Structure 1
């Protein structure tokens, strides 16, 4: 699990490690803590909720370890290199042999209880699916593939659309540019005829220079237009003019492009605000950092309002106009994926079954149910493994202690101490594992 697994996959594919990753069947995933900060396409590909066999694991074990180990920084900052490594090694040993081992059964018990709680909602989930007319669970699961295909197709813009948009923009620039040389010529002629209010040779030079610059720009834009016409197969007598059908279609494409860019900017600002809000509530964030984040959020609020105005302006120019957003709406957006359904470009995504809010919520519950059942299956295996490990370890350690008692009593004493220490934890493990049978829904 990695918080930027989606980007790391591409890097690995271009690195010398790509063959090793392929041979080892490496699969990068995004942990639960970071998953909902990614866009919807990343979630469908890398989020644990949609990965077969993932269970309810959140992939944040390393994050928790790093969080606990941060306390070492203040202790080891002024230590020598040897002492620093020794302290870190001692911390890792203590955490592995005492805290981690002591909490093994607690982890299993907590996950079992959480999975059973999710499974207890199975009847409610089934009833919701029936009310929505979704009787086939396989079809509901297939909605994920449909959504992924839709989002992937939306990310790739057909080349004809790109050329048409570029051609339209070039024509608009050429049309705007042609008016400037006309004004420059009139000004220059007026000066030559003595009817201009400008005086001196310098003014004559500036007027002439301006006219030449505008003519050169017009010639350059004309070449660009002709190149695009050649690629699009448009003859000179077929050049698009304002009001024509081709002009109208290209105008809509450009308007949609502006709309998408406005939405991207607004989306980025809102998500940054979400991150900062969550950061302000994290324990351990200092007072100065909270002040800094607070000032940044005040500035960003102004930027968000400006971006929101540009978005609404772009949305209103579309045909048909897209949904206008209000300040209260965007402030209530919680996840990045909530912006995705504003991005419809070639089809009405709202007509698709998987895009309806009620269906999406039911899909999420169904996938949680599937992951919970996988978790139960895996935990049953881990319970057997833990019980077997405890039994065999106690027997083996006792046997070793007995075998070295005569030759090395001191070592035998330390081995028995280790055994007794483990037994204290094992008693707790057995009690917790036995209590799983008493959980509701077991």
Structure 2
């Protein structure tokens, strides 16, 4: 206590010989919050240089001990303040994390979705298992997380058996890519097959080197972090989003829209889980984030992309990527930390992140309002011109175009079984003809064997070919048996000849089948390229090298696609390398899949109509965004007013009963008051805009 009164914290509980100044610890805390890469070791090295003393490892250990004590003191003071303010009720932080989302007013305009959230996993914050990489076992530490950000492993493991892992040979395969080359069925099945974190549970393995393999979190649409859970010795298993959704539904209730990069597939998981009745009763709506949505199947986009979901507004629901872009900087300092110190660092980081998000909240609302007003003005003018040119009188026609496209895509199935049998029959006929030609060639060569002046080695080669004729005859006999079986199944009375109309038609369909396969392969590679492009601004990931290597593969796939496209009748459009590298939306590929029905004559598939439909949807979402922002601005302004009254009342009470605590509250309130003043001024400017309608 004597040391603390002098402004120091000792590095041992009894008889300390070394102490660290509280001011130094406070400076490091703020520096680490704004620069998470700054480690304690780097801070101590800096202090050593400032004081002209040599650095020793034990100095960093001593500083770490004092810093833990300092944070513990701050945490206990914070808990006392929360109790004084009445903020210590269960889930109070989760219920009040973002005033724009959760400070609901009695007479406000009802919204289709009560609030919008987003969730995702990230494996940057892995922590190594000390028992695996060190000679000695990890020292026991009974300290746990200090805050209610975390969902406990027990809460998460309630859902560990909700999705059963499938057994099979694929367990041993290596799934390096988020997108895999698998046949298309329905849109959601395609996403389940192609996205790594939507795939079977046994794919989501993690090296035994790591104890915690990352974090899974949920945030509101403004970026405030709501919940975090550790991914323990696994990839992104279904139990993490299931536990997160369960908690959000329990606390926030009905009519929630939740963005997830595999929201389409996860909706199926929810429907099969124990949460299904709760999800239906509370009308949870899963959505796929804007960026990830453009890498999904077109049919999936029409159901889950934010542009096509009424009520979402202009929210991209990709905020978790922005959260992770900041928290990734914590990784170097937490990779080899203890469990407690990792939790402590993560909590400190996200507490500061949330405070920063609150400080920027009015800026975010103002920017979104400005963008929405601009889009409404531009799209109304553009849409009027397009509607006049296309002869569209009523906006309901755009909804009809979307229904027609959804109906068309829902009717696309895997190739019919009879058609698959016809392809198999055609392949068997071709193989039998090739074997017959090979055998005839060998016989002809045998007749000429002794009539020519062959060398001994050439003669031996010809004799070996002649000896292979019986084996070829056996294969041809088996093929003929297969052909007869297929003819019975297909009801073919007369065998197809190369000149027959059935043979020619089937050959054309095979060419189109090969074209679609080539297009699928090209599409898969371009999607992988898009994923790599998102990482190019992250240092040390090796994404640039991977992209350069992938480009050669894309070029080969592009050549194969162009060759298959040219063989169709009529030939399909070929693609150039420039078109490929400029692609940003994978849905552009889907309209090249002309499959069994040519859609080019459908009105909804015409480029001008599609452009007008997109502009109509953008106008609708922008108008919804303005309606939501009008509500959120009013919530924020009211929350600021009510908070000021509540804190003033609490300060008066604490000044009488607990002056030191009142002093600490006043100190913290000064910053909040300054931030709220900026919010009020900025909201005043927004409300003065000519287009403001709140």
The question of whether the paired residues in 2 share the 8 Å contact of 1:187 and 1:196 is answered with: no
Shift of 1:48: 0.6
Matched, 1:242 2:495: no
The question of whether the paired residues in 2 share the 8 Å contact of 1:120 and 1:441 is answered with: no
Q: 1:195 to 1:220 in 2, by over 3 A?
A: farther
Q: Which residue of 1 aligns with 2:367?
A: 110
Q: Secondary structure at the match of 2:468?
A: helix
Q: Which residue of 1 aligns with 2:539?
A: 285
- Partner deviation per Cα, 1:203-243 (whole Å, 9 max, x = no partner): 899457512221221122122212221221223xx121111
Shift of 1:54: 0.5
Matched, 1:260 2:516: yes
RMSD between aligned residues:
3.1
Please, which of 554, 569, 573 is the counterpart of residue 323 of structure 1?
A: 573
Q: TM-score, normalised by structure 2?
A: 0.57
Q: Secondary structure at the match of 2:366?
A: helix
The question of whether the paired residues in 2 share the 8 Å contact of 1:32 and 1:60 is answered with: yes
Gaps in structure 2 of 5+ consecutive residues: 1-258
Which of the pair is proportionally richer in strand?
A: 2
Q: Which residue of 2 aligns with 1:251?
A: 507
Q: 1:305 to 1:80 in 2, by over 3 A?
A: closer
Q: Which residue of 1 aligns with 2:640?
A: 390
- Partner deviation per Cα, 1:163-210 (whole Å, 9 max, x = no partner): 22221112111221222334455667888x99997989x989945751
What is the distance in 2 between the residues matched to 1:19 and 1:176? 59
- Partner deviation per Cα, 1:82-141 (whole Å, 9 max, x = no partner): 233212212222222x21221221221111111111111213322322221122211112
**Superposition map of 1:33-432 within 5 A:** 33-96=291-354, 98-121=355-378, 122-184=380-442, 206=464, 209-235=467-493, 238-277=494-533, 279-280=535-536, 282=537, 284-286=538-540, 289=542, 292-293=545-546, 296-297=547-548, 299-432=549-682
Q: 1:205 to 1:131 in 2, by over 3 A?
A: closer
Q: Secondary structure at the match of 2:657?
A: coil
The question of whether the paired residues in 2 share the 8 Å contact of 1:48 and 1:54 is answered with: yes
What is the distance in 2 between the residues matched to 1:95 and 1:303? 41
Q: TM-score, normalised by structure 1?
A: 0.86
Q: 1:229 to 1:19 in 2, by over 3 A?
A: farther
Which of the pair is proportionally richer in helix?
A: 1
What is the distance in 2 between the residues matched to 1:216 and 1:19? 60
Shift of 1:49: 0.6
Q: 1:187 to 1:22 in 2, by over 3 A?
A: farther
Gaps in structure 1 of 5+ consecutive residues: none
The question of whether the paired residues in 1 share the 8 Å contact of 2:445 and 2:462 is answered with: no
- Partner deviation per Cα, 1:365-418 (whole Å, 9 max, x = no partner): 111110011111111111222222222222222223323433322223333344
The question of whether the paired residues in 2 share the 8 Å contact of 1:165 and 1:254 is answered with: yes
What is the distance in 1 between the residues matched to 2:294 and 2:320? 18
- Partner deviation per Cα, 1:57-80 (whole Å, 9 max, x = no partner): 011221111111112123334544
Higher relative contact order (CA 8 A, sep 6+): 1
Q: Secondary structure at the match of 1:28?
A: strand
Aligned length: 432
Shift of 1:344: 0.9
Shift of 1:289: 3.3
